[in-house]
Amino acid sequence: MTSLFIKSIKFLVGGAFIVVLLIALYGSVRGVIKEPPAETAEHAMHKHPEELKLASDGPFGKFDRAQLQRGFLVYKDVCSTCHSLNLVSFRNLKDLGYSEAEVKKIAKDWGTKQPVFDEKGGTWGERDNVPSDRFPKVYYPGTGTPPDLSLITKARHDGAAYVHSLLTGYDKKPSAEALAKFPEFAKTPDGMHFNPYFANLNIAMPPPLTQDGQVQYSDGTRATVDQMSKDVSAFLVWTAEPTLETRRQAGFAVLGFLIFAAFLTYGAYRSVWAGVKH
């Protein structure tokens, strides 16, 4: 009798809990339908990244080495003064087609040198970079350090498309309809730059790609702002996953082995149980 009473209490408590949840859910849904949340400026003006097709897209995609080299030049000449690439070593550039001598020269000529520390951990000097070094960090004491770009295409939704859209989105202004709703965005705050692809619309980074020919390509490709943006976006896809091609090849090899093993297993099954009646 006592056991039955305890079970009844449990069912009543559980049922009451479910009823309370349903009432709360009904109230929330009813409130959203009757009084939907006010549209924010970010929602009205924010744009989704434009589609960007790269040679590395898709399961069979491969890196375009020529494009990656162009993208590296854009990073070196434009982006490296502010943004680090600290998860990539200079010697990794050999994967892009650079020779060992070229990698050594790139490392030695790099603008930011490697700090040299004393026994107490203090810095007492600098030395040239060598191929085994990672790209040195960029510091801005007191003003904040811009984000490292090593994994930026992994850290942002839409990856390379986001980077490309952000770099080319500075000239896009809010529509007249959006400004009528949010007149405070008619004037961009001092030290900020309007960019509809950035999360809160105003970004502290000035437009890095400002004119065609800002970088000199050696392969004859015309260095338009759009082309430079695409190239550096492709390069940052590579920095985020330099072993992309190897990983895909290994995946296809494993998949092929599993399919072959499945056929072997089925053949063994038919052979072993061929004379057995069910």
**Lowest mean pLDDT: which of 144-148, 168-172, 216-220, 263-267?**
144-148
Rounded to a whole number of angstroms, the distance between the first and last alpha carbons of the chain is 52
DSSP-assigned states of every residue in 43-89: HHH--PPPP---TT-STT----HHHHHHHHHHIIIIITTT---TTSB
- CB atoms inside a 10 Å sphere around CB 167: 24
pLDDT tens digits along 38-72? 667 667 778 899 999 999 999 999 999 999 999 99
Average pLDDT estimate for 219-238: 97
1 labeled part of a ligand binding site: no
Q: Residues of the chain with pLDDT > 70: what percent?
A: 87
79 is in an annotated binding site: yes
Query: Is 82 among the annotated ligand-binding positions?
Result: yes
Distances (CA, A) of 43 to 40, 142, 193, 204, 239: 5, 32, 18, 20, 31
Report the pLDDT averaged over residues 154-160: 94
Instruction: Give residue 269's pLDDT.
Output: 85
Residue 138 above 90 pLDDT? no
**Tokens read off for 205:** 């980074």
| Helix/strand/coil for 202 | strand
Q: What are the C-alpha distances in Å from 48 to residues 51, 159, 202? A: 9, 12, 15
Decide: helix, strand or coil at residue 196.
Answer: coil
- pLDDT tens for 169-212 read 998 888 778 777 878 777 888 889 999 999 889 999 999 999 99
Across all residues in the chain, what is the average pLDDT? 87
Measure the CA–CA gap between 33 and 28, rounded to whole angstroms: 9
Residue 213 scores a pLDDT above 80 = yes
Q: What does the alpha-carbon distance between residue 152 and residue 83 come to, in Å, rounded to a whole number?
A: 11
User: What's the rounded mean pLDDT across residues 148-155?
Assistant: 96
Does residue 257 register a pLDDT over 70?
A: yes
Rounded-to-integer distance, Cα 228 and Cα 266, Å:
53
Q: What is the pLDDT of residue 20?
A: 80
21-30, 93-102, 254-263 — which is least confidently predicted?
21-30
C-alpha to C-alpha distance for 88 and 108, rounded to whole angstroms: 16
For the chain, the domains span 43-63+158-245
Query: Which range (156-165, 170-179, 225-234) has the least confidence?
Result: 170-179
Round to whole Å and give the CA distance between 53 and 252.
23
The larger pLDDT score, comparing residue 155 to residue 116, is at 155
List the structure tokens of 150. 């090593």
Average confidence (pLDDT) over 133-148: 83
Q: CATH number of the domain at 43-63+158-245, please?
A: 1.10.760.10
205 annotated as ligand-binding: yes
Reported as a pLDDT band with limits 50, 70 and 90, residue 272 is confident
pLDDT by residue (tens digit) across 92-104?
A: 999 999 999 999 9
pTM for the complete prediction? Answer: 0.81
